[in-house]
Amino acid sequence: MTFRIVVLAKQVPDPETPPSQFKIDESTNSVFPPNGVPPVVNGFDLNAVEAALQLRDAGADVEITVLSAGSEFVMDAMKKPLAMGADRLVLIEDSSLGNIDSSGTVKILAAAIEKDGPYDLILGGRQASDWDQAHVTLGLAEVMGLPLVSLVQKLELNSDSVALQRVIPDGYQVIEAPIPVVLTVTNELGEPRYPNLRGIMQASRKKPEIFTLADLGFSSGDLAPKLELKKLYVPESNRQVELIEGEDEPDSGKQLALRLREEKLI
């Protein structure tokens, strides 16, 4: 029987955007799309896609669906998981999704998963690189009443359970979880694979399946945010670096040590 996996993926501004290009529009409390730097799929979500693909590589018969809620999707970015080897892309696209908070996102994703499911495994990245809250996938498990294991670095399928390793500060825990289960995946799992040419060709032929809020039985009034964003700004830094310049590089190293001693720092 096919094992159905859904991977949650979010489109985010590229976190590698140079700091000089990171600008905030304070009139709308939002980040200006950086010039010429296209958005990407959140990096940890690609680790989750990789986790699903590794189950397939290990011989399991899996169907991998990528699910995303958002607005202004850029297909070149969102199709990357398909190019890596995922089977389907389901998008919940609605312009009002820019104004909801994660309590709303969780409800929408849960409804979409119930409509499109049932799934055996629900995977998400450990956190999104825009709001860094690390809680949507955790919240989803609660709203759906499913078991949850976060920070997974390794997973193996058994017939009706999964064997997991969960990262902790100085090592890992070994965890056994029933199916269905919700997991967040961390980068310790390993780098997401690069799409190959065949994957890119296949992805280009696939069309995303689109759900609207109405399809899922919501109107935007149902999703009032609990947190109201009052202000978004770049913190001022007034640090001034003192550059140590010796006669040559080795001398600079020596002078640096002497300077730190002078400051009683070492």
Partner 1 sequence: MTSILLVAERDGQGEISQSTLQAVAAAKSLSDSQVTVAIEGDAVKSGASLAVEKIVTLSPTDSGDAGIYDKATYDITSLISLINPDLVLFNKSDFGSVVGARLAFRSDYAFAADCIEISSTVTGLSVTRPVYGGSALAEFEIASTPAIVTLRAGAYETGTDTGSPIIEAFNSDGSVVGQGATTTDTVAEARDGVRLEDANFVVSGGRGLGGPEPFSLLNELADILGGAVGASRAACDAGWIDHSYQVGLTGKSVNPDVYIAVGISGASQHMSGCSSSRAIVAINKDGDSNIFKEARFGVVGDWEKVLPSFLATVRDLKA
Ligand X SMILES: Cc1cc2nc3c(=O)[nH]c(=O)nc-3n(C[C@H](O)[C@H](O)[C@H](O)COP(=O)(O)OP(=O)(O)OC[C@H]3O[C@@H](n4cnc5c(N)ncnc54)[C@H](O)[C@@H]3O)c2cc1C
Judged by the rule CB under 6 A, the positions of this chain that interact with ligand X are: 15, 43, 127, 129
- Of 59-67, 88-96, 138-146, 212-220: span binding partner 1 (CB under 8 A): 138-146
Between 61 and 248, whose beta carbon lies closer to partner 1? 248
Residue 131: CA count within 13 A, CB half-sphere = 14
> Which tokens sit at 206?
């696939």
When binding is defined by CB under 8 A, the residue of 59, 159, 168, 197 that contacts partner 1 is 168
Choosing among partner 1, ligand X, none, which partner's interface includes residue 252 (Cβ < 5 to 8 Å by kind)? partner 1
Is 193 near partner 1 (CB under 8 A)? no
Closer residue to ligand X (CB): 15 or 246: 15
Q: Which partner in partner 1, ligand X, none is near 205 (CB below 5 to 8 A by kind)?
A: none
> Looking at the DSSP assignment, which residues form a beta bridge with residue 4?
63
Burial 90-124 (b: 16+ CB within 10 A, else e): bbbbbeebeebbbbbbbbbbbbbbeebeebbbbbb
Q: How far is CA 217 from the centre of its chain?
A: 26
Options 55, 91, 146, 223; binder of partner 1; rule CB under 8 A: 146
Rounded Cα–Cα distance for residues 81 and 48 (Å): 10
Residue 13 vs 139, nearer CB to ligand X: 13
Name the binder of 226 from partner 1, ligand X, none, CB < 5-8 A by kind. partner 1
Q: CA torsion angle for 84, 139, 208, 81 (degrees, to 10)?
A: -10
Q: Is 77 in the site for partner 1 (CB under 8 A)?
A: no
Nearer to ligand X (CB atom), residue 15 or residue 98: 15
Which one among 37, 134, 154, 206 touches partner 1, defined by CB under 8 A?
A: 134
* Among residues 174, 197, 207, 217, the one that binds partner 1 under rule CB under 8 A: 174
Residues 38-64 as b/e (b if ≥16 CB within 10 A, e otherwise) read ebbbbbbbbbbbbbbbbbbeeeeebbb
Q: Which two tokens stand for residue 124?
A: 């998400």
Cα–Cα dist 53/82, whole Å: 11
Scan residues 231-250 and list those touching partner 1 (CB under 8 A).
Answer: 231-235, 237, 239, 241-245, 248-250
111 binds, among partner 1, ligand X, none (CB under 5 to 8 A by kind): none
Determine how β-strand 40-41 pairs with β-strand 11-12: antiparallel
| Residue 226 in contact with partner 1, rule: CB under 8 A | yes
The least distance separating partner 1 from the CB of residue 145, rounded to whole angstroms, comes to 8
